[in-house]
A and B are shown apart, each in its own frame.
Chain A
Amino acid sequence: MIEAIRDAMDVMMARDGDVVVFGEDVGFFGGVFRATQGLQAKYGKTRCFDAPISELGIVGAAVGMAAYGLKPCIEIQFADYMYPAYDQIVSEAARLRYRSNGQFTCPMVIRMPAGGGIFGGQTHSQSPEALFTHVCGLKTVVPSNPVDAKGLLIAAIEDPDPVIFLEPKRIYNGPFDGHHDRPVVPWSKHELGEVPDGHYAVPLGKAAVRRTGADVTVLAYGTMVHVALAAAEETGVDAEVIDLRTLVPLDLDAITASVGKTGRCVIVHEATQTSGFGAELSALVQETCFYHLEAPVARVTGWDTPYPHAQEWDYFPGPARVGRALLETMEQ
């Protein structure tokens, strides 16, 4: 998936001289996950460069550049390190268009590796998507596979507004399904690992059905799509697994069509539960599908604790927990 993300930036830097890429270690080295490898050599160090270790500086500078007319696609080394930049994101990037009545806009993408499953402890594992979906003026994207990652990132770079692009780092190398004791199949052996060449966009705001099913709808994104697919296979529950891909704007039509059909809904995310994005999804399902529901909407999420190191697999919502929720929902 890293190659797909790099490819998206490469395609956009070649097509559009206004696209610039910067962040901590992204220049000569090509980023700690190597997502920008080769871009400085190809486009020069004024289009791809190392930033001082200041997340507020990186985002604040990008806001200025975007207002000038560039299209910064910046990297925050880990989503866990975005907090110093939060003011720049929330009060500045997100509101620039609105408060200047369109005199200034902020077309930029903030890429951040997110999520757990790598024994990274609390500073390399968080899923802060709800801190962005709660902010008006931001779009929030979470890809689950290389084909989408490239198309969504291209769409994000082309978007006229700021986009938060959360990359589930645990699936950089393959579709991790939560079975940490088994080897991960590389993306090269997966159909969604075959990334088309050149320019294409996956539109923001469109979900994808990863598995069709009749009994229960699973709403998931990022790594949890693969966990949900594994849970459906292992329990034998005929689940319809929807990969949301974009959280804001959300493809509500896809959700209501599916829940209207199945009458049941399980929501899965890695982030903590209280005020997580699952709460928004649950409310929307209740508002739009109430008369179709045959069971309460269920949530499987990270526990409401900081992300632990040693207890990673107790914390991470794996196929066993998701499977249990599927079975419980079917029993209602």
Chain B
Amino acid sequence: MSDYAPLVLTVPEPAVRPGGTPDFSNVKIPRAGTVARPEIDAEPESIRDLAFSIIRVLNRDAEAVGPWAGLLTDEELRAGLRDMMTLRAFDARMLIAQRQGKTSFYMQHMGEEAISCAFRKALEPGDMNFPTYRQAGLLIAGGYSLVDMMCQIFSNEKDPLKGRQLPVLYSARDHGFFSLSGNLTTQFIQAVGWAMASAIKNDTKIAAAWTGDGATAEGDFHAALVFASTYKAPVVLNVVNNQWAISTFQGIAKGGSGTFAARGLGFGIASLRVDGNDYLAVHAVAKWAAERARRNLGPTLVEYVTYRVGAHSTSDDPTAYRPKTESDAWPLGDPVIRLKNHLIARGAWSEERHKQAEAEVMDTVIAAQKEAESYGTLHAGGHPSMRDMFEGVYAEMPPHLRRQRQKAGV
């Protein structure tokens, strides 16, 4: 006879399901300005606590406080606000366009705008992002053409990717935006490889890897951490923890590790957590991590604590798996409103200017959409050719593919 009680399988569950009252009391949020800012060359071991806290700059009164504050000018902050507003307007228009059948699919950023928009400002020309589908702010804040983005989404005759890729899986080499694969986390390790190449060639460029919370479970993530750690690759390893992976809450990927940032500790990687809805905090941490990489001090893992306000994609309905009002209860607020209030508190912005900017931003996005639509949408107007489909598989088309193209009559 065994002395042991029967084993039982643990399957984590989110605190609340549809019908329940949203509850984020488990998300411990330190006061803004209270987390220390280590020296740039701090040993990862000496800053372990940063993997369990949340670096925040904007306080409840919309003031920028603490050691991570003070990096950005009024002008830069206004530009940041405009980037986030543009991304939000872009999302709104593309969601409507998808419903109108102008594209097959779209993925929005609502609530997560600060992360990609602010991170982009910490990079230099030549640096390379290996993004996921929820970092279009890297393009917008980098000045990439809205029309080109929309042409990709509409798969039209000016689609830079010739209709080959699913909407939002952009590629923009000149803008430091690596070709998006769609297979989760495959690119996390590629960013490390890119960074290693920069070091091998004694270059000064760095790379940035991106993943969501859910996708950290992929083996590629763990491979990336060991490579980054072993070779001290000049890379920033970004984990966007928006609490959800489609219908799966973050506890399934995180298991017992406490935070996603803590995943880096076992690899000896400097690991920080930051308020992902705080433009100033995101920017400050991104700068710090990029600076470490550029000074050959090795990789940094950054977990952005945020919330996916919208549906996962246009194929998803989140009311089936989480309370409708959960996003209202999210304790870190809205990134656009928080930056807007901060600018007003600084005396560098006003409600009127904000309203006016909203209208201008929407006009810009609508004008871009008009132009993009003049080149066609998924089922109407100009579209990529059937020849485009056969080209680009190889540098030079091999005979068997040439024969197939002939057979297809193009």
Contact = CB atoms under 8 A, between A and B. Distances in A.
Interface of A: 24-25, 27-29, 32, 45-46, 49-57, 80-81, 83-84, 119-124, 273-274, 303-306, 308-311, 314-315
B344 interface: no
5 contacts: A32-B246, A50-B11, A81-B184, A121-B169, A310-B383
Interface residues of A, dominant DSSP? loop
Contacts of B384: 310-311
B104 interface: yes
B9 A54 contact: no
Given A28-B17, A84-B220, A123-B183, A311 B388 contact: yes
Contact of B182 (A29, A52, A55, A121): A121
A24 B246 contact: yes
Interface in B307-336: 315-316, 320-321
Contacts of A304: 393, 400-401, 404
Given A32-B315, A56-B219, A122-B164, A305 B247 contact: no
Contact of B11 (A49, A56, A315): A49
B114 interface: no
A25 B165 CA distance: 25
Contact of A308 (B245, B246, B389): B389
Interface string B104-131: 1100000000000000000000000000
Interface string B147-179: 000000001000100111111010000000000
Interface in B207-225: 214-215, 217-220
Contacts of B166: 120-124, 309
A53 B11 contact: no
Contacts of A308: 163-164, 389
Contacts of B400: 274, 304
Contacts of A273: 404
A309 B17 contact: no
B233 to A, nearest CB: 22
Given A52-B217, A309-B164, A83 B11 contact: no
A294 to B, nearest CB: 22
Interface of B: 8-9, 11, 13, 17, 104-105, 155, 159, 162-167, 169, 181-185, 214-215, 217-220, 245-248, 252-253, 255, 315-316, 320-321, 378, 383-386, 388-390, 393, 400-401, 404-405, 408
A81 B183 contact: yes
Contacts of A57: 217, 219
A178 to B, nearest CB: 16
Contact of A80 (B105, B163, B183, B220): B183
Contacts of B220: 84
Contacts of A314: 386, 389, 408
B271 to A, nearest CB: 20
Contacts of B253: 52-53
Nearest to B389: A311
A51 to B, nearest CB: 7
A309 B405 CA distance: 17
B237 to A, nearest CB: 17
Nearest to B401: A304
A318 to B, nearest CB: 12
B376 to A, nearest CB: 9
A303 B404 contact: yes
A55 B217 CA distance: 9
Which of A50, A56, A314: most chain B Cβ within 10 A? Answer: A50
A119 B105 contact: yes
Contact of A303 (B159, B163, B390): B390
Contacts of B378: 119, 310
B247 A25 contact: yes
Given A306-B393, A310-B384, A29 B105 contact: no
A28 B247 contact: yes
A310 B218 contact: no
A308 B393 CA distance: 11
Given A28-B321, A83-B183, A309 B408 contact: no
Which of A27, A57, A81, A305: most chain B Cβ within 10 A? Answer: A305
B393 A305 contact: yes
